[in-house]
Amino acid sequence: MSLGRDRLDWATDGLHWPNRSASRFLKTTSGDWHVQISGPEDATVILLLHGTGAASHSWRHILPLLSTRFRVVAPDLPGHGFSRPRAEADLSLPGMVQALTELLSQLDRCPAVILGHSAGAAIAVELAASKASAVPRHVVGINGAFLPIRGNALFSPLAKALFANPFSASMFSLMSRMTPLGGNLLTATGSPIDEQGGAIYRMLLASPAHVRGALGMMAAWDLSRFDATLQRLPFPMTLIAAKDDPMVPIENSAHAARQAAGSRLVLTDRGGHLLHECRADEVVGWLDEAIGNQRPDGADAA
């Protein structure tokens, strides 16, 4: 993106967006959405929810694999990528759920499965447990962020202070454009993602509007009562976690599996935080197992 521009522009910045032909732009009460939709119209719907600071491109390898059999819906969350919230957006967990409920209502299709990564996994659980949403059949979390994180850069109290400063997002994005900051943050995920993915993350981090959305989400995040949400899920989950994830410890997934009775925990030795971006085939395989095997016991090793 050009220096000094606040928001991403689809006509220029979106030219090489993965799976671009699947992209649509929709309007709801809460904002203007960029959402990718692919697969047979009458097929089972799977909703893909990315994590904080990412966008729908995070599913660039997953979406083509799933869309041969499913109707796949992958939005940019409010304030992220090319989705534009209106006025003062509520980027809290309940606010995200309300916005997604509006989007799904407009699509007039309820997902049977929700697949969420990192903070997107927590949104998936909240959405599934919400009375405002039709209940899906399964939730699959990848390196899910389910516990309050203290002293970790992912959801630090520092985010609240940064979000309160109107210059923080612009300064962060400027630093990302002028220094290897974006590359360093990607290295910190512990995931060997492809060059296309790396280039898009660097572009996103260079956008003040995107950074503002990520900071706002982090500042509003509150998981202090999330165990109660896990406990009222009407079905068990499948939780996939990489042991070498340096950003979200596997205890997040282990804890969630204990709270949501009957849930399955799949542990893998490698892949880092962006596991789904560098091991897409295996993640889809675990998803297929999850859909066909609702109540296994214990943890699987992968």
pLDDT of the residue at 188 = 87
- Burial of residue 41, with CB atoms counted within 10 A of its CB: 0-12 exposed, 13-18 middle, 19 or more buried: exposed
The residue type found at 297 is D
Q: Which residue has the higher pLDDT, 293 or 38?
A: 38
Query: Is the pLDDT reported for residue 160 higher than 60?
Result: no
Query: Is the pLDDT reported for residue 111 higher than 50?
Result: yes
Rounded CA separation 106/11 (Å):
25
pLDDT of the residue at 178 = 45
pLDDT of the residue at 49 = 98
Q: What does the pLDDT look like over 17-68, one tens digit per residue?
A: 999 999 999 999 989 999 999 999 999 999 999 999 999 999 999 999 999 9
pLDDT tier for residue 134 given thresholds of 50, 70 and 90: low
Cβ(145)–Cβ(118) below 8 Å: yes
Q: What Å distances lie between residue 136 and 11, 255, 256, CA to CA?
A: 35, 22, 18
What mean pLDDT do residues 68-92 have? 93
pLDDT of the residue at 125 = 96
Query: Is the pLDDT reported for residue 295 higher than 60?
Result: no
Rounded CA separation 120/106 (Å):
20
pLDDT of the residue at 301 = 53
What mean pLDDT do residues 127-131 have? 85
What mean pLDDT do residues 208-236 have? 90
What mean pLDDT do residues 172-185 have? 50
pLDDT tier for residue 108 given thresholds of 50, 70 and 90: confident
Within the chain, strands assigned E span 23-27, 31-38, 45-49, 71-75, 84-85, 113-117, 138-142, 238-242, 264-268, 299-301
* Sequence-ordered alpha helix ranges (H) in 29-157: 62-66, 93-107, 119-129
Q: What is the 3-state secondary structure (H, E, C) of 83-115?
A: CEECCCCCCCHHHHHHHHHHHHHHHCCCCCEEE
Range in 27-31, 154-158, 233-237, 247-251 with the lowest mean pLDDT = 154-158
State the maximum Cα–Cα separation within the chain, in Å, rounded to a whole number: 53
pLDDT of the residue at 36 = 98
pLDDT of the residue at 296 = 39
Q: Look up residue 76 and give its DSSP letter.
A: P
Query: Is the pLDDT reported for residue 13 higher than 70?
Result: yes
pLDDT tier for residue 105 given thresholds of 50, 70 and 90: very high
Closest CA to 115 of 78, 144, 79, 81: 144
Q: Can you give the pTM of this predicted structure?
A: 0.89
